[in-house]
A and B are shown apart, each in its own frame.
Chain A
């Protein structure tokens, strides 16, 4: 009897072990990097035709919190999209996985490296174009109609393409800007120091300095302005802030070299360092992250924040801890010239996992999310952003959105599509830290950044 139960236990254990081994042997090996879509159909005005009579297909959609939550539940809105999509395409099962901005990028890197990437993703050009350059994505040109092609600005297409292939379907956008706590200025009676009486709200560095000084002198409990350099998160804010204060570009026109190490930008960085000492800029900015600074702003403790947008404004509604009116502003420029604003651009891409049926199904999902007569507009509003398409305007009845629409004229091409951008940005915040801590001058910090970043660009170009 004892021997029998011993064998039975052993049998159970062996079964478990075999199950485990078979579960773990899905054949994840080294990356199979250069998977061109096995059959690239000629461009048509419609997404690819259905494979042989609506064969059931399952696709995986990984989504960052691109949409505002429904009832505070992450992923609930996405599930509604899928439900609506399935009414039109019941043969396509969409498996949703929500990822966060904190851990998502790492998770994606691991998934790609182990050949378990999702089929479709909603993300931004920074990562998508990098994947496109590595030929990990399926081109989307066959699903982009001439109407859509002509309705989206070349600046946005530039961020969605590698060479002549489109890898991201642009959906929503918004220029990154500053924001000001207007209520503080109303309370101290200095509203006239803000450029709100100008339709385009453009202003100069000198006007900005006066506004900061007014806050310092009249609202001692409020920190005039923010800055941050803890990590690369939100670095579009520090890039654009410095580039505008110093009327420079971050990278040159063809993204082949760093351009921000000018004397003017260096002087702007030196000013930030001094302003921190003069308590015009938040103290300890070398240890603050973009989120920390926006938290201070949302708590009403900061007059200006430098990394904001219409999208962030909408997303931050639940995080606002004080009653005040927030107003979007462009970055001030040294000479009053028009500002250059980096756009936030959101769009969808398809990983080429070597399955044409899944690629075709993913294209249908993208088409539904972007262009469905009912859900297309609804989805855009849920992102809190503006449409990437120039013809779709007036989504919101809100003065700040109206201004964000107007500020689209200041959108510039961002450096996020440059070769080696992922490595370039790892050099940016440490150099800002060196300047902020007084270890080097602004010029030395920017030159050191330029040297390292140019090397990274060269290396990435050589590899591509």
Chain B
């Protein structure tokens, strides 16, 4: 009796140990390449860390940032990007998905391919194309608006249009994955639910609000959280199109991190920026999970 208990215990222990040992590589990668740099970033943010200095300065980097007009403007721009881009990406993606999900397989694939293309293309290539579209002298956008008698605009060079121009590029590169996911989710909604509602004479709006939207909630939560995080972290488009200009009108926190760390060599200040951004993203993600997660139907 005792020996069989010991055997079972040994088996359970070995199984337990084996499971965790198999998890160890993934955990090793995570600790080494995610957790450690993250914690190191927080640590560095309390130092005046430049190419030649590493002095503890406490909260001085944070204090400096909250008094820095450029950082505050960058944070404002970042929030503006999120506020505009996320709802547009979500609503446009749902609109496209709703339009194509009942079409033939061939058409669905075509549209999914078209909208997903920017997601699999290099951001640099896409941005170079947009730079030529927005070119103040030879851009196709000014060429088109010129047909309607409009004067050429420096789309990326004027404060009133620069941020919106950036957001437009961000939206075009962000809708691919949500469309694919929404089309898949819509396909998973049992047709009988919608047919039953139609028999009960529910309008299209009612069907969307009462059946489709609640059934899409798990997908919504994922897409909203991911799109929000991606919008907060927009960087390459800004670096390539505007370098944060004109007059810091398109500067974002991520661009500021890059500028401070890699152009000015102020790693401490850049880390503090990164920590603030991470905290903001964390808070917003928690809110999103709290308010959207409760409606998730599995």
Contacts and interface: CB of A to CB of B under 8 A. Distances in A.
Contact of A230 (B51, B243, B264): B243
A417 B265 CA distance: 17
A406 interface: no
A282 B155 CA distance: 14
Given A283-B152, A287-B242, A109 B261 contact: yes
A21 B51 contact: no
Given A30-B54, A136-B52, A422-B265, A288 B248 contact: no
B137 A283 contact: yes
Given A10-B21, A106-B263, A113-B267, A230 B32 contact: no
Given A13-B22, A109-B262, A286 B246 contact: yes
Contacts of A135: 52
Given A13-B25, A109-B262, A286 B54 contact: no
A6 B87 CA distance: 49
B218 interface: no
Contact of A437 (B18, B159, B261): B159
Contact of A288 (B18, B52, B136): B136
B214 interface: no
A284 interface: yes
Given A426-B263, A430-B247, A430-B248, A284 B154 contact: yes
A392 interface: no
Given A13-B25, A287-B136, A437-B247, A131 B51 contact: yes
A267 B22 CA distance: 71
A122 to B, nearest CB: 19
A223 interface: yes
A240 B37 CA distance: 42
Interface residues of B, number: 41
Interface string A216-237: 0000000100000111000000
A136 B245 contact: no
Interface in B41-76: 49, 51-54
B51 A286 contact: no
Most chain A beta carbons < 10 A, residue from B153, B162, B263, B265 = B265
A20 interface: yes
Interface residues of A, number: 48
B167 interface: no
A282 B137 contact: yes
A113 B261 CA distance: 10
A422 B50 CA distance: 13
B53 A20 contact: no
B86 interface: no
A231 B246 contact: no
A379 B157 CA distance: 40
B187 interface: no
Interface string A68-93: 00000000000000000000000000
A105 B246 contact: no
Contacts of B258: 106
A360 to B, nearest CB: 24
A155 interface: no
A38 interface: no
A426 B52 contact: no
Contacts of B264: 422-423, 426
B154 A286 contact: yes
Contact of A33 (B28, B52, B138, B158): B52
B295 to A, nearest CB: 41
Contact of B51 (A113, A423, A439): A113
Interface string A417-444: 0000011001001100110110100000
Contacts of A287: 134, 136, 154-158, 162, 242, 245-246
A404 to B, nearest CB: 29
Most chain A beta carbons < 10 A, residue from B51, B136, B159 = B51
A52 interface: no
A31 B258 CA distance: 19
A20 B137 contact: no
Contacts of A105: 262-263
Contact of B25 (A16, A24, A429, A463): A16
Nearest to B29: A20
A286 B157 contact: yes
B254 to A, nearest CB: 14
Nearest to B139: A284
A95 interface: no
A433 B246 contact: yes
Interface in A124-151: 131, 134-136
B24 interface: yes
Interface string B236-249: 00000011011110
Interface string A185-207: 00000000000000000000000
A385 B131 CA distance: 32
A17 B28 contact: yes
Interface string B199-227: 00000000000000000000000000000
B137 A434 contact: no
Nearest to A282: B137
Interface in B118-154: 134-138, 152-154
A274 to B, nearest CB: 16
Contacts of A109: 51, 261-263, 265
Contacts of A106: 258, 262-263
A463 B248 CA distance: 27
Nearest to B245: A433
A8 interface: no
Nearest to B21: A10
A8 B262 CA distance: 44
A17 B137 CA distance: 55
A456 to B, nearest CB: 10
A284 B49 CA distance: 38
Contacts of B136: 282-284, 287-288
A268 B248 CA distance: 24
28 contacts: A14-B24, A20-B29, A31-B51, A31-B53, A33-B53, A34-B52, A106-B262, A109-B51, A135-B52, A223-B137, A283-B136, A283-B152, A284-B153, A284-B157, A287-B154, A287-B155, A287-B156, A287-B162, A287-B242, A288-B157, A289-B243, A301-B138, A426-B259, A426-B263, A430-B245, A433-B157, A433-B246, A437-B158
Given A16-B25, A134-B52, A287-B246, 6 more contacts: A6-B18, A33-B52, A113-B267, A287-B136, A436-B246, A439-B247
Interface of B: 18, 21-22, 24-25, 28-29, 32, 49, 51-54, 134-138, 152-159, 162, 242-243, 245-248, 258-259, 261-265, 267
